Amino acid sequence: MIRFGRFMLALGLCLSTFAAHADDTSLLIPATHPCTLERIANEPKSGYEECLTFAQLGYADAQFTLGEYWYQGLYSPRDYQQALKWFEQASVQGHAIAQLRLGTMFYRGEGVPANTIQAYIVLKMSAINGSDEALDSADQVALQMQRNELDIGNQVLAQIFRSYLLELSNETQTLTP
């Protein structure tokens, strides 16, 4: 329950951050970084350290890459706790594939106790952020949930969207003279 509360707080922060930048129409191209699994495989020490630096600076793609690094266990022993940590950080920034992986981990109980409600919520958020695979996965999870569990998941999603719309409305009002 504590992890679920922390997750909901993180989602709330993510949505409020998104709302605060919803009207940002700048054409600036975000800085790229050399953080990829291939780079880590080719240059294990320096590749991992660079990726870690970018992840700690808040780059969602780097956080996702570290999550994949630990989740897949291709270049190091698999570590679900590390994967969970990095997927959560990328997820709160709206990284759809990190949310997909996180929802899958909650569903399968990888590194956390299995929790279909939490899996459903995170997979739905991933779908909203553009993952078609997450939409299909959320539907599959929903088929395995009890009616009351599905109601709870949908209530949480509704609350997230109400909070988002309220934040967006407040931001719009502060920008309107």
In a domain, 12, yes or no: no
Residue 132 domain boundaries: 115-166
In a domain, 103, yes or no: no
CA distances from 173 to 13, 16, 17, 102, 169 (A): 20, 15, 16, 35, 6
Task: Judge contact between 50 and 36, C-beta under 8 A.
Answer: no
Q: What is the pLDDT tens value at each position of the chain, 177 positions in all?
A: 444 444 444 454 344 334 344 444 444 445 566 789 998 988 888 899 999 999 999 999 999 999 999 999 988 899 999 999 999 999 999 999 999 999 999 999 999 999 999 999 999 999 999 999 999 999 999 999 999 999 999 999 999 889 888 888 888 777 766
Q: How many domains, the chain?
A: 2
Distance CA 127, CA 134 (A): 5
In a domain, 139, yes or no: yes
